[in-house]
Each structure stands twice: as C-alpha cells, then as structure tokens.
Amino acid sequence: MCGIVGCILKNNDKNVAPILFDCISKLEYRGYDSIGLATYDGDIHIKKDKGKIDEVNQKLDLPDMPGNFGIAHVRWATHGDPSKLNAHPQIDEKMQIAVVHNGIIENNSKLKADLIAEGHTFKSDTDTEVIPHLIEKYMNEGFDLEHALRKTIELLDGAYAIAAISSKEPDKIVATRKDSPLIVGLGDDGYYLASDSPAILKYANNIIYPEKGEIVILDKNGVVVHDEFDNPINKEIDTIDWTPEMAEKEGYDHFMIKEINEQADAVKRTLTQKDNIQKIIDELDDLSRICFVACGTSYHASLTGKYLLESLAGIPTDVILASEFKFSAKTLDENTLVIFISQSGETADSLKALDVANKTSKTLGIVNVAGSSITRRAHYVIQTQAGPEIGVAATKTYVSQLSAIYLFAALLSDNQELLDELNKVPDYIDDVLKEIDLIKSMSERYNYAKDFFYLGRGYSYPTALEGALKLKEISYIHGEGYAAGELKHGPLALIDEGIPVVVVIPPGDSHKKTMSNLEEVKSRGARVLAFGSEDDDELDEKATEVFKINSEVSEIIAPLVYIVPLQLLSYYITVEKGFDPDKPRNLAKCVTVE
Ligand code: M6R
C-alpha cells in the first residue's frame, strides 16, 4: 500500500537520486501504479509518472537528478486513478514543499474545501495533496518545517507515514507516522527513512522505530526525534540481521520462485524458536480460549492453528478475519489469548483489532518483520524466520507461520511425536522441490482454465483455501477452495466437463472420505489433479494427474508440505500466461488501509 523512502547524505557533493532510486525499487512490492522522486539542489526537482518502476525509469532516467537529499514514493492508488498528476511526491502551489505519503487521509475532502476557500489551488485527485498545502499554510504563518508538519498532523484523520522536504528550509527531511509503517536507518554515509527494511538493508542496518505522533528530523549530522509534546527523545537503536542479498532475486526469474525454493530453510530457522515459544507458554496460565486474528494467507495459517489447538490441546479456538473482528471483541476476557498472525506486522485491519484485544486479553503476535507495529504492540511475540519476502504472494512466510503455530501447539500439548515430525519437514519440502519439472508440465496442461476448484478435508482444508488464493491472486484464474465434504451442499453444481479440481489427499483419517469426494467430481467430468502419498496407488487409477509426496508425510503435518506443489502450480501457470507473479494487479504486499 505505497512505499516511501527518504535519504540525506553526509557528503554534500554526492547525488542522492541513485540511492533513492535503488531504495524505492526495493519497495515496488508495496505499490506499482506510479513512482516519483523529489530531490533538492537550490530548487526542488521532481520526476514522476504512472507505470511500473522500469517503465518510468526508461522514460525519465530517475537516478539522474541533482542534490544530496530527497524523498521517493511508489503508489498503490486509493484516491485518484494511477496518473502522473496523482503520483507522489505531491507539492504545494509554489513547488517549495514536496511530500510523500503512505496511508489514507480520511478527512481530505473537508480539508481540501477549507484550503480552496482560503485560496489554495489543487492539481491532483489525491488525499495526500492537502498535506503540502497545509505545511505551506503553516510555514507562511511563520512555523518552521518541523512545526508546520506538527500543526498539519493535528488536522489529519486516518493513517499516514509522511516525509517532507522544503526549499524554504533546505538540508533536512522531516517525517512522522500514525498507523502506517516508517523506519529510520542510521547508515555510514547518510540517514534514511523507509516504509520497510528491505529498502535500506544495503545502506543501514541500525534502525529506529518512530511511534505515532513523533516527528523525525534528518539532516546530514544525524537524526533527532521529538515526541508528541515536542520534547527531544532518545530512541532505542535496533540492529536488523537481514542481509541485502536476502532482498535480491539472486539469479531467479522472480522473487516468488526464489522464496518458494527457500521454504525448507525458512522452516528450519523458524523451528529454532522452540525455546522462546516454550518461555511464552510458561507465562500463560489460566488459558481457557484462543482466538486467532489475521487476514489472507495468514488467516489460512490460523485455520490450521485452530484444528491443531482444538484437537491436540483441547482448547476452544476461534479464527477471526481481522476486518470482521469488532463483532467478537466483546467475547474476549483475561483468559483468552488472542494470536495475531501477520507477515508484515503492519496490516491495518490486524493492528486495529490488536489495539482492541490488548484492552481485555493477552495478545501474541506471530510476525515475520522484526520491529513492525504488531511486534511492538502485542504482549508476546514469536518471530518467524523466513527472511524478507518480496513477492506479493505469501509463500515462505506461510510455511514459517505454520511452523511457529505447530511448535506452539506441540509444546502446549506436550506432544513430542509432533515435535519430532516437525524436524523432518524441511527434508519433505526439499523432496517436493526436486520434482519442480512435474508441476511445470502439469501447469502447461491446465493454464487454459477459467476456473479451478481446490478440495481438502480437515487439516487439508486450509491448504485448499491457500492453494486457491495463490492461483487467483497471481494468475487471475478463478480458484475456489472448499472443504471437500461441503461440495455436495451447493458448489458441486459448478463442476462440469473439463474443470480442473485439485484434490489435496494425504494419507490418514480423512483419506477415505476425500476419495469419495474425488469420485464425485470425477464422475461429473472434472479433471482431477490429485496431490497425495507416493504409495497411494488408487490415485493413479482415479485421478487425471497425480503428484506424489513422501508417504511419511502424515495428515497432520501435511499442510506444511502439500502447499508447496500448489504454490508451484500457481507460479508456473502465471508465468505461462505472461503475467508477473511478483506484482499482481491491484494488490500490494502490505495492506496498511482498512
Ligand atoms: O502481512 P499480513 O500477513 O498481515 O498480510 C495479510 C494478507 O494481506 C496477506 O496474507 C495476503 O493475503 C497475501 N499476500 C496473499 O498471498
């Protein structure tokens, strides 16, 4: 949902634009409707346009701009269509103030009307444009840049991370945030701002996390932070241990396929969190209920958590979509543990729910991005160890979330057998990855389809949902995930000749019934793509296509392994259709608006 960066270099003679361009390129996963940079060298210079970074760069040569400080933006449109005028940076009338913004200014219409009544003229359809105009207004009234920003945010409703520069007060960048992410990097050569750490990993790994209402001032001598009452404060400095290479494609065609291939390691690293998780469990007493709250892929990981916790630990467990959380808030009490699952730790719907849950219950975040808002606001945190995930479609972070949830459930229920099983998962995933070519050729036979169904029972039901989500979000093919037993209650009407139906059918209790469901769709003409055990000979007879997985992968552990070929299937179908799996249309990696 938009990405912003800012940088001021210590060396006056060095141009910042190549660095800004490099940093903002790393945030393309947050928005790819348009890109823009503003730098300062006596005047504010702006280059921006509609389109993906490469397209715009070919036209405008973005790194070729003068000045040693500036700001940049990639946009995921909320107010106003993707266009050059609506691209950021947004400016005031005299082009003396340039602003980049991530979030939504909910009362922008009213603010805009008031400013127009005062004589301001607007050029864009964005909500953001009110910000440079308000800063201009307050600077005209005699406030310096920092205090003009402070006065401005007093008027703003909504979510924002804002960075601004002004030719009236050059050689500094001011920034602030509320409910949208923003980090500050302290590098050897300069100081940085960014929506997310992959942007600046190459330049700075010492990080400050500004809180709501704090104003950050960057100049070439350092970074000063003022709290919401305007007092200077000392912020803790964290060190990120992600390396710049982790945010590169490293020879792969796309981040998504790189990240799919990194899944065995991601699981291995996340399993090292066992002791931390045990410590958290030791502190949780009188636990009578668990609620998972999450969105999208993280919601599917949570569903698996429900099955595990209810069946292994006997704890009543609910799974609530973060955007629907308000209806359940009143049912929480001090004996409920509310678990927030999130890759980014910045999803607006989840953060809103977390603030509510914190008032009554113990909260635990299972989060991939260190230092993100959920990690700072939840009472307990489990850090998944997937490393940076750049592809918009969640892959390695999903199996890492699952690994953390499995550890939590196994430790809570004292299930040594499951803990032993978990240690074998990285090898099982590697076995699947050795068979990539089989999936590739399967995808060639099914990329024509307009609709897909995905069926699974029990532990495999969330896998079916996640497989379908992967397909629809990147290939734009309609994919519908269903509990296999539910099909006959309606959706079976949609099954006809030639429709591909993916059946997730690991060995175990639900195998027999899932096989009946497989027969039901087959007899109505579906092409069955079965994902099952290597010694399941029945599948060879009954399915159109069979992908075989190590027979030791039990039903309970299957979600961690069976999702991998489904991710690969979506990836290869998407590539064959000529779409970019890393940047699906209309989507962004981190959803910071409600
Ligand atoms: O960062 P989060 O895990 O909170 O994000 C939640 C969803 O937006 C996310 O899982 C989304 O569904 C995935 N990108 C889909 O692959």
Please report the pLDDT score of residue 431 as a whole number: 97
Q: How far is the CA of 323 from the centre of ligand 1 (A)?
A: 13
CB 162 near ligand 1, within 6 Å: no
Stretch (H or E) spanning 573:
helix 559-576
CB 517 near ligand 1, within 6 Å: no
Whole-prediction pTM value? 0.91
Chosen domain end from 423, 445, 476: 423
Structural domain contains residue 429: no
Structural domain contains residue 9: yes
Examine the residue annotation and report whether 291 is marked as an active-site residue of this protein. no
- For residue 202, give the CATH number of its domain: 3.60.20.10
394 shares a domain with 382:
yes
273 shares a domain with 236:
no
Q: How far is the CA of 295 from the centre of ligand 1 (A)?
A: 6
Report whether 514 contacts 487 (CB < 8 A): no
Looking from the CA of residue 295, the nearest atom of ligand 1 is 6
Structural domain contains residue 587: no
CB 574 near ligand 1, within 6 Å: no
Residue nearest atom 8 of ligand 1, based on CA coordinates: 296
Give the total number of structural domains in the chain: 3
472 shares a domain with 395:
no
Residue nearest atom 9 of ligand 1, based on CA coordinates: 296
Greater model confidence, 241 or 437: 437
Residue type, 395: T
51 shares a domain with 153:
yes
Spatial distance between the Cα atoms of 199 and 3, rounded to a whole number of angstroms? 9
Please report the pLDDT score of residue 589 as a whole number: 83
394 shares a domain with 268:
yes
Q: Give 559's pLDDT tier (boundaries 50, 70, 90).
A: very high
Instruction: Choose one of 30, 347, 375 to mutate for the ligand 1 pocket test, by most ligand atoms within 8 angstroms of C-beta.
Output: 347
Residue type, 35: I
Please report the pLDDT score of residue 592 as a whole number: 80
Structural domain contains residue 586: no
Exposure on the CB side of residue 170, measured as CA atoms within 13 A = 14
Reported as a single tens digit per residue, the pLDDT across 99-129 is 999 999 999 999 999 999 999 999 999 999 9
515 shares a domain with 419:
no
Looking from the CA of residue 591, the nearest atom of ligand 1 is 8
Looking from the CA of residue 395, the nearest atom of ligand 1 is 16
Please report the pLDDT score of residue 547 as a whole number: 98
Average pLDDT of span 488-513: 94
CB 353 near ligand 1, within 6 Å: no
Please report the pLDDT score of residue 510 as a whole number: 96
Please report the pLDDT score of residue 172 as a whole number: 98
Q: How, if at all, do strands 362-367 and 380-383 pair?
A: parallel
Q: Which is catalytic among the residues 258, 291, 589, 590?
A: 589
Please report the pLDDT score of residue 32 as a whole number: 83
Q: How far is the CA of 7 from the centre of ligand 1 (A)?
A: 28
Q: In degrees rounded to 5, what are phi and psi of residue 19?
A: -75, -45
Q: Which of 23-32, 164-173, 556-565 has the lowest mean pLDDT?
A: 23-32
Chosen domain end from 398, 423, 448: 423
Report whether 89 contacts 65 (CB < 8 A): no
* 256 pLDDT above the threshold of 80: yes
Chosen domain end from 394, 423, 452: 423
* 317 pLDDT above the threshold of 90: yes
Q: Which is nearest to 319 in space by CA: 304, 335, 297, 334?
A: 304
254 shares a domain with 238:
no
HEC profile of 6-41? EEEECCCCCCCHHHHHHHHHCCHHHCCCEEEEEEEC
Please report the pLDDT score of residue 467 as a whole number: 98
Average pLDDT of span 576-583: 95
CA distances from 116 to 124, 510, 590 (A): 13, 65, 33
Looking from the CA of residue 344, the nearest atom of ligand 1 is 1
CB 394 near ligand 1, within 6 Å: yes
Structural domain contains residue 428: no
Q: How far is the CA of 366 from the centre of ligand 1 (A)?
A: 13
Structural domain contains residue 82: yes
For residue 518, give both structure tokens. 């497989």
CB 343 near ligand 1, within 6 Å: yes
* 31 pLDDT above the threshold of 90: no
Mean residue pLDDT across the chain = 96
Structural domain contains residue 507: yes
Reported as a single tens digit per residue, the pLDDT across 191-205 is 999 999 999 999 999
Q: What sign results for the dihedral spanned by CA atoms 298, 303, 308, 313? A: positive
CB 350 near ligand 1, within 6 Å: yes
Domain housing 55: 3-246
Instruction: Choose one of 195, 319, 343 to mutate for the ligand 1 pocket test, by most ligand atoms within 8 angstroms of C-beta.
Output: 343
102 contact partners, CB below 8 Å, separation of at least 6: 1, 2, 3, 4, 30, 73, 160, 161, 180, 181, 182, 195, 592
Examine the residue annotation and report whether 2 is marked as an active-site residue of this protein. yes
- For residue 570, give the CATH number of its domain: 3.40.50.10490
368 shares a domain with 404:
yes
Q: How far is the CA of 89 from the centre of ligand 1 (A)?
A: 27
Stretch (H or E) spanning 400:
helix 396-412
* 284 pLDDT above the threshold of 80: yes
CB 465 near ligand 1, within 6 Å: no
Please report the pLDDT score of residue 77 as a whole number: 81
587 contact partners, CB below 8 Å, separation of at least 6: 392, 473
Report whether 576 contacts 254 (CB < 8 A): no
Looking from the CA of residue 296, the nearest atom of ligand 1 is 12
Please report the pLDDT score of residue 29 as a whole number: 86
330 shares a domain with 188:
no
Q: How far is the CA of 19 from the centre of ligand 1 (A)?
A: 28
22 shares a domain with 41:
yes
* 295 pLDDT above the threshold of 90: yes
Structural domain contains residue 585: no
Q: What is the DSSP letter of 179?
A: B
476 shares a domain with 393:
no
Please report the pLDDT score of residue 273 as a whole number: 97
Q: Percentage of residues in the chain with pLDDT exceeding 70?
A: 100
Q: What is the DSSP letter of 311?
A: I
CB 591 near ligand 1, within 6 Å: yes
Instruction: Choose one of 1, 195, 297 to mutate for the ligand 1 pocket test, by most ligand atoms within 8 angstroms of C-beta.
Output: 297
Instruction: Choose one of 1, 179, 304, 344 to mutate for the ligand 1 pocket test, by most ligand atoms within 8 angstroms of C-beta.
Output: 344
Greater model confidence, 245 or 257: 257
Q: Which is catalytic among the residues 2, 7, 23, 291?
A: 2
397 shares a domain with 497:
no
Report whether 435 contacts 531 (CB < 8 A): no
